[in-house]
Structure 1
């Protein structure tokens, strides 16, 4: 059965790096980063754009999940509230797939260091540090990447999927 793998976590925790490598190592896979649907200038968060982004994500995920070329559909995004995941899944309810929700987390010191190395602003770092706590109660499989390299994190996720 086709698998939808949702990888969430706070900004800077390593979702894109993990998913990029995961997609390369899983045969017959495709990856959608939710951030791609927000790449607009100026970046404006309003009701119209939220609806548009959610519609675009739904359209792409639905297309990937119904395409016979793929066995694994990887979707990464911040998704810091359960209701966000529930709303996303409700729009895919007409499809059959196995769901895996993976939450990436790390220590505050590791997060700060990674974001500084990525040249993130202090405002972005502080916002991400504040949000990291919202993932504690997530109904998901948590992978703490604080002391883990990229290859190890991907292997851990792959072993859970296979």
Structure 2
């Protein structure tokens, strides 16, 4: 059965960095980053643009789900509200797939360290830190990446996604 893997988390937590390496280690996989659908200049968040972006996300994800060559579809995006998950899923065809929702989280200190390294601006860092709390109550698997190396994060995601194992707390 196909797996649709939605990896969310606050800006700067490492979604794109991790999944850009992860999907290359899994045969028959594809990756869509929701931010790609917002690549516009100037960048304007309007109702028209929000609708267009969501339509594009629905179209691309449906194409990947319909394609027999893909077993794993990865989608990364901030998704800081359950209603956004619902909106994404409501536009997908009634395909047979297993849905995995995985939230990458980290400490505020780690997040700021990563964002400084990426040369993010102060406003983005403040917004990202302010959204950290949104992810704690979401109906997702949480993966705390604080202090973990890239290989450790990828190995944990491989266990979750490919092996269907979620590491239980000891």
Which TM class, normalised by the smaller chain length? over 0.9
Cα distance between partner residues in 2 of 1:92 and 1:43 = 26
User: Who is 2:138 aligned against?
Assistant: 138
1:3-45 residue CA offsets vs partner (Å, 9 max, x unmatched): 0000000000000011111111111000000000000000000
2:56 aligns with: 56
For 2:168, the equivalent position in structure 1 comes to none
* Residue deviations 1:24-83 (CA, integer Å, cap 9, x gap): 111100000000000000000000000000000000000001101100000000000001
What is the SS of the residue equivalent to 1:30? strand
How much does 1:147 deviate? 1.1
Alignment match, 1:37: 37
Give the match for residue 111 of structure 1: 111
User: SS at the partner of 1:75?
Assistant: strand
The residue matched to 1:21 in structure 2 has which SS? helix
**What RMSD in Å do the two structures reach over aligned CA positions?**
0.7
TM-score, normalising length: structure 2: 0.94
- How many residues are paired up? 162
Instruction: Determine the structure 2 residue equivalent to 1:75.
Output: 75
Conservation of the 8 A alpha-carbon contact between 2:5 and 2:100:
yes
Q: Give the gaps of 5 or more residues in structure 2.
A: 164-170
* CA-CA distance at 1:93 after TM superposition: 4.7
Asked if 1:99 corresponds to 2:135, the answer is no
Runs of 4+ in structure 1 deviating by more than 4 angstroms, as ranges, are none
Cα distance between partner residues in 2 of 1:55 and 1:148: 35
Structure 1 spans left out of the alignment, 5+ residues? none
The aligned counterpart of 1:27 is 27
Q: Distance in 1 between matches of 2:62 and 2:93?
A: 10
